[in-house]
Structure 1
C-alpha cells in the first residue's frame, strides 16, 4: 500500500501544531468514492476546532485531520457506487475532517459534478461557505423592500450571502473595510465601513430601519443588530453562539442543515455567472500553516484554498 500526504495535528493549539505527513492511502467502503484532491477550501471553523475553542460543540480525537470542502478527480469507487466512475471531476464535502489531503474518501451522495466553467479552486472552496450562506439567507428570508445588514460582508460566507440576498430583491447593507467597498457596490450591495460609529453610518443609509441582520464575524455584531431595531427572530449569527443564546437570536448555517441539492444549485449559479466566489489566495498543501496565518488575520475577501 502506498502513502499519501495529509494534514494532521496531535493536540489542540496554534497554527504550529499543524503538519503534513505521509499516511496510508484510503480505501473506499460500500457507497464511497476516493477523490484525488485538486483543491480544498479552508475555513475559520477549522481554526476554531484545531485551537480547541469549539471543543464542546465539535469534539476531537487525535491524531486529527481537518477539512470539509473538496474538489478533485474520482480515483476509486467502492461497492454499490453507480453514479460515479474513475476520472469523473467532482466537488463536494466530507464530515470526517479529512479533505486537506491528497486522497479523500467521500460518501458518493456528498458529491456533485464539476462543470467545466467552474474553476478548480472555486469548486474546492464552495461547500462550507456556500451552504452556510444559502442556509442563512433561506432562514432570514429577506424580501423585496426590506433591508438586510451583513457583517463581514466581503468574507467567505458574507460575500456569497450578500449576493443571494440581492438576488431576492432586498436592499443589502454590507459592513466591510473600505478596500472591499468597490467589490460590494459591483455586486449590488450598499457598503458601510465597520468600526467606531458604524451604527450611525448604517442609520444614514437605512433611515427607515433594519428588517434583518446576518452576523458572519462576531465581536459584538449581535448587539449592533438589536440596537438597530432588527427583531430578534430575524437576527442570526454563524459565530457568536454564546451571545446568540443570551440574546435569543438565531444560530444559523449549521452543517446539518445543508444538503447536496443545495450544493448542486450553488454550483449551477457559479457556472452560469449568477454567483461569484472570489478566491483570495491558493497555497500548496505543504504550506497549510501559511494559509491559516492569512485566514486568521480575518481580512480576506472571499476564500483561501489549498491545492494538491
Structure 2
C-alpha cells in the first residue's frame, strides 16, 4: 500500500526537458503529470538540484546521450535534495516527510523524481539528509562527492602523502581537497593565480597550472610528491610522472591515460556518500555554493556551469510553484 504525506501532490508538476540535444539553449521547462511511485519506489518532492559538468556532457549530442542510455525527450540534472512524499509498497526505512538527497540520472531538475529505494548508484539513489545539512548543500553532494571519494580510493591516499590535485578549485576538487586533508595528506592544488586564496581556504597549497608547473611543485614539495589526481585533463598526469609519481598512484576523472586509473562515482564505496554527508553535518567539510538560481533561470544556471569559472557548486531551486 502506498503511503503519502499530508501535503498531497498537485495534479501537474514542472520538469526541465529537452526535445533536442545541445547546450543550455535547448533546456525547456514543461508541465508534466506527477509521477507515481510503484512497489519498491519512493517519490521525492525536489527542493533543490545541483548541477555538474556531466549534465551538459550527457545531453550535448545523441552519441553522448546514448552512452548513458538517454533518449529524447530527455530530462536534465542528476543531483537532488528534497522530501519524500509518497512511498510504494515494500519500502522500508523511508517514510513520507523524510528529508533525502541523492541522484536521479538526467532528471533531477523537476518538481518530483521517483527513485528505487534500493537503487544504490548515483543514477538512482536516496539517502537520509542529516540534521545540520541544508537542502542546497545536500543537492551538491552526489556526483562530485562520489567522484572525489573514488579518486582518493584509486590512489590509496593516507597520512604522510603529498598529493598533487589538478583542477582543485572545480566541483570535484572542492571535495577532493578536503577529503585528502581529512585523510591526513598534504595537498598541493593547481588553479589560476586568481584562485589562490580560494584554494587556501579549502586547505590546499595553491600552485599555478600551465608552463613551469613541475618546477613550481618541486619548490613547494622538496621531499617529493607521492600521489596525484587529475580532475580536469592530462596536465597533472604528465607533471606527476615527471615528478616521479608511479602510475598506480595517479588517477584521472575526465580523460583516459594508458596505465593510469580512471575514477568515477560508480566505483565508490557503498557508504561513501553518507560519510561525506556526515562530515558536512559535523562541520568538517564545507561545500561552497557559487550561485543559486530559480527554476525559471535554468538556462542561466546551465550557462554558468558550462563556463567552468564558478568557484563552488551551482544550485537550481524548485521550491516556488
- TM-score of the aligned structures, taking structure 2 as reference length: 0.88
Deviation at 1:219, TM superposition (A): 5.5
* Matched-pair contact (CA < 8 Å) for 2:165–2:236: no
Aligned to 1:197: 212
- TM-score of the aligned structures, taking structure 1 as reference length: 0.92
Aligned to 1:9: 18
Q: How does 1:218-257 map to 2 (within 5 A)?
A: 218=233, 220-241=235-256, 244=257, 247-253=258-264, 255-257=265-267
Q: Deviations over 1:196-217 (max 9, x none)?
A: 3222211211223322111111
Unaligned runs of 5+ in 2: 1-9, 119-124
Tell whether 2:257 aligns with 1:270.
Answer: no
Aligned to 2:110: 101
* Matched-pair contact (CA < 8 Å) for 1:38–1:73: yes
Aligned to 2:54: 45
CA RMSD, 1 decimal: 1.8
Q: Deviations over 1:45-90 (max 9, x none)?
A: 1111111373464242111112221110111111111222211111
Find the aligned partners of 2:279 and 2:58 in 1 and give their Cα distance: 30
Deviation at 1:144, TM superposition (A): 2.3
Q: Deviations over 1:130-183 (max 9, x none)?
A: 111111112211232221111111111111111111112211101112333223
Aligned in 2, Cα 1:233/1:260: closer, same or farther, shift over 3 Å? closer
Tell whether 2:169 aligns with 1:154.
Answer: yes
Find the aligned partners of 2:130 and 2:69 in 1 and give their Cα distance: 35
Deviation at 1:185, TM superposition (A): 2.2
* Matched-pair contact (CA < 8 Å) for 1:112–1:260: no
Aligned to 1:36: 45
Find the aligned partners of 2:270 and 2:114 in 1 and give their Cα distance: 16
Kindly tell me the number of residue pairs found equivalent between the two proteins: 302
| Consecutive aligned runs of 4 or more in structure 1 exceeding 6 Å deviation | none
**Local SS of the residue matching 2:49:** strand
Unaligned runs of 5+ in 1: none
Find the aligned partners of 1:229 and 1:55 in 2 and give their Cα distance: 38
Aligned to 1:27: 36
**Local SS of the residue matching 2:147:** helix
